[in-house]
Amino acid sequence: MKMVQISVLFISTCLLGLFFLIVLAAWSYGQVESKRDELNALGAIKHKIDALSVGSDNLLIFRGDDRLWQVFFK
């Protein structure tokens, strides 16, 4: 009878550990997705900053036309 109780305890512990790992995996996946969204947003901001930098360099070097000035006043 003792062997049955040890087996039930062992199986219960393993199932509890498996449940904990599933919860941890779901939480980790949510964290990764939120960081990926944040990274994409920062990439879009970097792209806009790079475009603004190129435009400002163009204005300073070539004394840009009116179309280029309108970009900065939007």
What's the confidence (pLDDT) of residue 59? 75
The Cα–Cα gap between 11 and 5 comes to 10
- Does the pLDDT value for residue 62 go beyond 80? no
CB atoms within 10 A of CB 68: 14
Decide if 68 contacts 59 (C-beta within 8 A): yes
Q: What is the domain count for the chain?
A: 1
Split at pLDDT 50, 70, 90, the class of 56 is: confident
Domain interval for residue 68 = 2-72
- Does the pLDDT value for residue 72 go beyond 70? no
Could you tell me which residues come within 8 angstroms of residue 50 by beta carbon, excluding any fewer than 6 positions away?
A: none
CB atoms within 10 A of CB 42: 10
pLDDT tens for each residue of 13-51: 999 999 999 999 999 999 999 999 999 999 999 998 988
The amino acid at 58? N
